[in-house]
Structure 1
Amino acid sequence: MNDHRGIDLLRLDANTVGVAAPALIDQILSARAATEFERPTFKPLHGRSIPRDYALKSMQAIGRDVRTAMKKQQPEKIDLSGEWPHVGHVFLRDLILGGDPYRLRFLMDRILELTPKLTWAVIATGALTSFKLQPGASALATLTASASTYADRRYAMGLYRRTAAPVCFTISTLVANALWLGAPFDDAMSNRNILYEALRLLPPSWNILRNASPEYCALDSRIGPDDDVLILPLVSHRDTALWDDPEAFRPERWNSLNPDDHPGFLPFGHVSERCWGQNMVIPLAEMLLNILRNDGFAVSPRQTVATVPLAGLLGVSEVKISRR
C-alpha cells in the first residue's frame, strides 16, 4: 500500500493496469458504460444474459422487501453476539426473507460461497418443482415463483441469490468492519458517519474492472490496446493527497465531506453508474448498527487480531462480538 499510494497508474501484470488517481478514474469510468460482463451483480447467469429491465424488477422487489423489513417492530433485546459478519448475515436474511420457502432462504447460506458449482447444484435441485408461497413471502420470492418451467425456475432462483445475497453479505460485512475499526463509538457520533468511514478504510467493493477497450488508450498512452483496467478504491481511499491522516478511523471527517462527490471515494461505484443497492445498504446498515450500539455490543476485548481476506467482498472475518 505504501509503495503505491499516490501513484496515478501502475502496471499490475502484462495485460492489466491499476488506476487510483481521481481524475483518471473519472475519465475511464465516464468513457463508456459497463458491459454486461463487467457488472458486479447482473453479469450473465450460467451463460444467459440478464436483461436490464429484469434486473431492475429484481432490485425494485428487494427494495420493497427492505423497506418492509425496516418497518417491523424489533424485540427490545436481540442477541447479536457471536462471530461476525455471519451473525449479522443470518439476522438480515431472516429479517428480510424470513417468510420465503426454505429452498430460497438456503440460497443465502454463506457455505455456498465456497464454489459456484455447489451453488448451481443447490439451485438445480431446488428448481425441480414449482413454488408454493405462504403469506408473508417477500416480493422477490413472488417474482421468483412466477417462473413456470424448470429452466426458468433455475434462472429465477439464480437471480434471487444474485439480488438478495449481496444485500445481506454487504451490510453484515460493512457493520462488522465498522465494529472492528471503531467500537465502542462516541455517543455523539452518527451511524452514517461511522459507516462512511468504514467504507473508506475497508471498501466492500475494493476494485472495479473494465475490460480492454479502445477508449482507454486514447485517455492515457500508458494504457495499451489489450490492457484491462482495474480501478482501485482501496488505494484512492488512502491517498494522502485526498485524505487527512488517511490510515486513522475518523468518522468525524464526514461532518464536512460529501460522500457523493469527494474525489476518489467510490464505495458504490462511479457517479456515472452507481450501484443500485446504495439506497438500501446505508439505511439498513444504520438500523443494524443502531441496534448494536443501543445494546452495548462491541468487539470482545479478548480479540486483538483479525484477518481481512483479499476476496471479492473486502471485510474483516471472524470478529467476535459481545455485550460490554
Structure 2
Amino acid sequence: MSSTEHSQNQRSKKAESATDATVKNSESAAVRGTGGPGNPSARTRTHPRNRRTTVFAPRLQALLDEHTGKDLVRLEPDTIGIAGAELSDRVLAARRATETERPTFKPLHGRSISKAEAASVMRTVGRDVRAALDGPDPLPADTDLSGPWPITGHRFLRDLVLRDDPWRLRVLMSRLLEIDTKVTWTTIVTGAALPRRPRPGPHLTQLANLVAEAETYQDRRYAMGMYRRAAAPVCFTVSTLVANALWLGSPFDDSASDRAVLYEAMRLLPPSWNLLRNRSPEYPAVDDRIGPGDDILMLPLLTHRDPALWDAPDEFRPERWDALDPDDTPGYLPFGHVSERCWGRHLVMPLAELLLGHIRRTGLIVAPGQRTAEVPLLGLLGVRTVHVGHRDKVRRT
C-alpha cells in the first residue's frame, strides 16, 4: 500500500483504535432502539419503528453508553475525544483542516490536491449531477426501488449520475472499494493500463472526460483516482442516508417533509461520525485538558445525541426541524463545521430527496418482519441492510 493510501486510512484506524479503548471485557454489543434505551413509553408505542432495534458495533455502542453527554474524554494516551458542541466549535475553528485531514481530497498517488483543483472537480461533479436531475425524467414513476438498501439506491444512483461512462470507470463505484484500499488501488492501476481507453465526448460525464483526456498512464491513473474520490462519496452518502432514514422512521407521517426526515436521520446516524484533527499547537490553547501531543477525534455521533442539546435525543422526531435551521444549530455537524462545510452537501440533499420522495409516493416501507439492523464500525455510519418492499407484499411478521 502506498503512503498516500496509508494516510487515507488514518482517520478510520485512529477511530477504531480509540474506540477500542472504551470497550469493556464483553464484546457483545448492546442494542438501542430508535425510541431510545430506558424509555419504556417509547417502546410501547404502536409505530413500527419502535419495534426495531439498531445494533451498533461494540465499539460504537461503548462510546454511546460511556461518553454521551460529556464534552471531552480521553480515549487513548495520545487521543482526546470531543463531543461538546461549544468545545467542538472552538477546536474546529482554531485552524483549517490540513490536506491529510480532509475527508475526500487527501493527497492522491503522492500528489497534493490544491483547494482550487478540489473545487474545480466538485464543480465538475455538480454539473454531472445537475445534468442527471435536469433530464427529462430522472426517476420515472414506475421505477421499483424495492429490495435491500443501501445497495439498491447505490446502483440506481450510479446509473443515473454516471450514465454511459465505460465499465472501467463505473466499477470504481463498487461499495467493496469503500473498505479495501488495496482492491481500490489495483482496480485503478488496471483500468489506467487497459487499451482502448474511452474517447472524449458528450456521451461521457464531464468527470469521465477528465480521464478520457489524460495523455499518459500516470495522468490516467490520477484522473481515475479522482473519479473515484469525487463520484463515489456522492453515491455512497446518498444511498446510506436514505437507508438510514427508512430504518429509523418508515413509514413516515405525511406531515413530515422529506428534508426534515433526512436531517433527523443524519442527526441519529451521521454518515461521517468522527472527524480527525492531528496534534497541533493551536489546540492546547483552546482547552488545557488537551496536551501538545494529543490528536483529537471530533465525535458528531455523540454530539448529535447530547441531552443538553436535544429534547428526547434518542428518538426519531423529524418535526423538530420545523423550528431548527440545520446550518445554525449548535452541535449539528452532518456536513462538517461551518468553516469548512462538505462541498458535496449540495449534491447529496437533492439526490436524497429525489429517492426518498419516490419511495414514499410508491408506498415502499421497511419490511415489518425485519426487527434488527446492524451498524458496522467501518465505512460510512449506516445500517448494513434494510429490506424495503411494497406495503401489500412485505412480510408482516
Scaled by the length of structure 2, the TM-score of the pair is 0.80
Say whether the 8 Å CA contact 1:58–1:143 is kept in structure 2: no
1:243 matched to 2:243? The reply is: no
SS in 1 for 2:75: strand
Report matched runs for 1:192-231 at 5 Å: 192-231=259-298
What's the counterpart of residue 65 of structure 1?
128
What's the counterpart of residue 303 of structure 1?
370
What's the counterpart of residue 115 of structure 1?
180
Aligned residue type for 1:266: L
| Whole-angstrom CA distance in 2 between matches of 1:48 and 1:281 | 27
SS in 1 for 2:168: helix
1:323 matched to 2:390? The reply is: yes
Q: Which consecutive unaligned segments of at least 5 residues does structure 1 have? A: none
From 272, 276, 281, the equivalent of 2:339 is: 272
1:96 matched to 2:155? The reply is: no
| Whole-angstrom CA distance in 1 between matches of 2:341 and 2:212 | 29
What's the counterpart of residue 151 of structure 2?
86
SS in 2 for 1:322: strand
Shift of 1:136: 2.9
Shift of 1:134: 5.6
| Whole-angstrom CA distance in 1 between matches of 2:179 and 2:252 | 34
From 301, 317, 321, the equivalent of 1:254 is: 321
What's the counterpart of residue 140 of structure 1?
207
Say whether the 8 Å CA contact 1:147–1:156 is kept in structure 2: yes
Q: Which consecutive unaligned segments of at least 5 residues does structure 2 have? A: 1-63, 392-397
| Whole-angstrom CA distance in 1 between matches of 2:134 and 2:253 | 27
Moved more, 46-55 or 22-31: 46-55
What's the counterpart of residue 225 of structure 2?
158
Say whether the 8 Å CA contact 1:101–1:133 is kept in structure 2: no
| Whole-angstrom CA distance in 1 between matches of 2:134 and 2:249 | 28
* CA RMSD of superposed structures (Å): 1.1
1:93-143 deviations in whole A, cap 9, x for unaligned?
000002111111110011223411111111111112432246431111112
1:19-61 deviations in whole A, cap 9, x for unaligned?
0111111111111110000000000113221122221111001
| Whole-angstrom CA distance in 1 between matches of 2:176 and 2:337 | 31
SS in 2 for 1:306: strand
1:44 matched to 2:112? The reply is: no
Aligned residue type for 1:66: V
SS in 1 for 2:223: helix
Give structure 1 regions of 4+ aligned residues with deviation exceeding 4 angstroms: none
SS in 1 for 2:388: strand
| Whole-angstrom CA distance in 1 between matches of 2:200 and 2:250 | 40
Moved more, 113-122 or 7-16: 113-122
Say whether the 8 Å CA contact 2:201–2:209 is kept in structure 1: no
SS in 1 for 2:373: coil
| Whole-angstrom CA distance in 1 between matches of 2:297 and 2:328 | 20
What's the counterpart of residue 131 of structure 1?
198
| Whole-angstrom CA distance in 1 between matches of 2:270 and 2:323 | 20
SS in 1 for 2:73: strand
Say whether the 8 Å CA contact 2:260–2:319 is kept in structure 1: yes
From 336, 355, 359, the equivalent of 1:288 is: 355
| Whole-angstrom CA distance in 1 between matches of 2:212 and 2:95 | 35
Q: Give percent identity, aligned residues only.
A: 61
| Whole-angstrom CA distance in 1 between matches of 2:232 and 2:303 | 27
Aligned residue type for 1:38: E
Scaled by the length of structure 1, the TM-score of the pair is 0.98
Say whether the 8 Å CA contact 1:100–1:134 is kept in structure 2: no
| Whole-angstrom CA distance in 2 between matches of 1:50 and 1:41 | 10
| Whole-angstrom CA distance in 2 between matches of 1:78 and 1:219 | 52
